[in-house]
Structure 1
């Protein structure tokens, strides 16, 4: 039996934590699929407030707000991510909310201050996802410089290093190609809590640049939807690079969940989403993201081998295969946990009711499997 992957703790032992669950916040219209299929998901604050409370009650620990500034590819309307995240934090009690941000749209010291305030308001539940950016027109039409792929990741890495410096030093110093900081003392600092000194830093990607950056500076590394073997290979690569840098990184995987009472119902829903795909929007999205991937130095990157069907779900969530009965999905989740996935980032078609169904029907089954796996894999120690 494959043992569930562990992460080293400060004493050199292994921390085998339960799989964590996050959901995509639908603060962008169109839901999580580029399809004309009927959806009962809404991008309004009122809907999302209700959803956040339901997700918290269902057992979700994290929520990720999307960052999109420009109407594009089925997303006609967008709410800004950081303000939306703060509102959800203020309305919940346990949920950690990850605000996606673009370096180039923010000065890192200003964002660090914003996140610190959010951290104090929420009792330590603020987090950030630093996104290098792929949609060129968002930068160009706002009059901001557009950098090529490798440079965007260099800027994003400096952005994270700068924020971490300002969060942890009373005389912060930073000198980079994109950002500079001299003898700066930001007060108050973020809350210093067990397991974290400051808001958790997420980032994602598939490219060589992204993997190296994640290994050097990220707390969490997000991956697009992937098969068991593909996820495991990327985890092994980034983990090795992180170890070489004396660091530990945890891993999140994107997965679009279609849980139904029967497998036939779930498969039919997936087919309906794909058959009703907004083809022009999917093709436009494909052109934009594949152009971004092709600009990498080694022609590797996110969406590099994605088909049009894969791109009906923005971050290739269909590839993770979370489609079927609660039992089938629970077993698949366990296999991803065995391969080293620490967090599953879930998307849904009808968010409100499906988040509740997931919490009621899938999570209890998964927790039972995870507990049994612990007994079997860890020599009788749960």
Structure 2
């Protein structure tokens, strides 16, 4: 089995802990903090340890172990101004943002950061955040139709003048944004990310986004989504990159890593996990195909609220590096990592895991060149 496009080097992102409670809903110790000083230092550590991107979370209402949270776009800009190379992705909700207003904010953030601002369009799973603010709660596929228009409007405003757009959710009339974001051959406008698992999410990602984010998945789950997203993209003469969520537990021995996972689950905050499950599984099950996010997630999966354990980046540096390499061979372009103790574990990852990943990639390139297939024609041995 082969895949047409394999990245020469996989990239890495991390979840910004701008929301309290860490990345697992558990009472296990998590040496992390949602405050700015911690996150400023963490962003600097990440960019010096091989991370290309950071994703600022979005949560508006205190809930499910996330009692406190900093707003994502403003926090992203603060991190951009505290770093030199890191690209920061701000998660936003259509329905709570007007796309032209976000386009203006994004253009300013992009210019101030030298072209490092990006957006992750989140269609929404938390009904209360909409209804408590007096906003309508749309059915699943309608939320994704709105997101599709949101993505289109953002791109048009960032790249065109005198924009007209007449959709079911957004109407733009003769609108010109100046200054526009930075435009370079390497990156013509701020990158747009779309996440999800459902068929509607895959359709949006293929048609409108630069990147598609998936919840945690095993090899077969990743391959299924990649085929769908890239088939949709190519039908519209586009290419889309693929990012995969994974909770990373890298330890000197596999036993240490597995014991850590076991402790996380044993100490799960059951009321918080069950409250989250009740909120999100109606979103996943509301699709006709039952393929929405969290539709088949177990209690243990939801302790890491984006199914990060499923990716199985748990073990020694060698085991994790090989698994990352296998995901890359299947077409994954980026790993979005969560950690228990962010500061020290990102340092450990940069020192112990990342060099092994790069060694495997170099060996793959040499093998491909010897076989005459080129770096994008790698036989999948997983």
TM-score, normalised to structure 2, is 0.96
Tell whether 2:164 aligns with 1:173: yes
Match for 1:300 among 283, 291, 302? 291
Match for 1:154 among 139, 145, 153? 145
Match for 1:341 among 332, 342, 345? 332
Gaps of 5+ in 1: 8-15
* 1:326 shift after superposition: 0.3
Name the CA shift for 1:22/1:222 in 2 (closer, same or farther; >3 Å): same
CA distance, structure 1, for counterparts of residue 4 and residue 301 of structure 2 = 28
CA distance, structure 2, for counterparts of residue 251 and residue 20 of structure 1 = 10
1:234-273 alignment, distance < 5 Å: 234-273=225-264
CA distance, structure 1, for counterparts of residue 183 and residue 200 of structure 2 = 30
In the alignment, which residue of structure 1 is the partner of 2:38?
A: 47
1:303-322 alignment, distance < 5 Å: 303-322=294-313
1:37-186 alignment, distance < 5 Å: 37-186=28-177
1:185-196 alignment, distance < 5 Å: 185-196=176-187
CA distance, structure 2, for counterparts of residue 330 and residue 121 of structure 1 = 35
* 1:4 shift after superposition: 7.1
Match for 2:212 among 212, 221, 227? 221
In the alignment, which residue of structure 2 is the partner of 1:323?
A: 314
Root-mean-square deviation (Å): 1.2
CA distance, structure 1, for counterparts of residue 28 and residue 334 of structure 2 = 28
CA distance, structure 2, for counterparts of residue 56 and residue 150 of structure 1 = 37
Provide the secondary structure at the position in 2 that maps to 1:41. coil
Q: Which moved more, 1:189-198 or 1:71-80?
A: 189-198
In the alignment, which residue of structure 2 is the partner of 1:233?
A: 224
- Does the CA-based 8 Å contact 2:8-2:361 persist in structure 1? no
Provide the secondary structure at the position in 2 that maps to 1:71. coil
* 1:246 shift after superposition: 1.1
In the alignment, which residue of structure 2 is the partner of 1:10?
A: none
- Does the CA-based 8 Å contact 1:6-1:17 persist in structure 2? no
Match for 2:193 among 183, 198, 202? 202
Provide the secondary structure at the position in 1 that maps to 2:62. coil
Match for 2:359 among 357, 368, 374? 368
CA distance, structure 2, for counterparts of residue 5 and residue 84 of structure 1 = 37
Write the deviation string for residues 253-276 of structure 1: whole angstroms up to 9, x where unpaired.
000000000111000000000000
In the alignment, which residue of structure 2 is the partner of 1:31?
A: 22
Write the deviation string for residues 157-188 of structure 1: whole angstroms up to 9, x where unpaired.
10010111111111111110110111111111
- Does the CA-based 8 Å contact 2:247-2:311 persist in structure 1? yes
In the alignment, which residue of structure 2 is the partner of 1:281?
A: 272
In the alignment, which residue of structure 2 is the partner of 1:6?
A: 5
Provide the secondary structure at the position in 2 that maps to 1:373. helix
CA distance, structure 2, for counterparts of residue 322 and residue 291 of structure 1 = 28
Gaps of 5+ in 2: 376-382
* 1:5 shift after superposition: 5.3
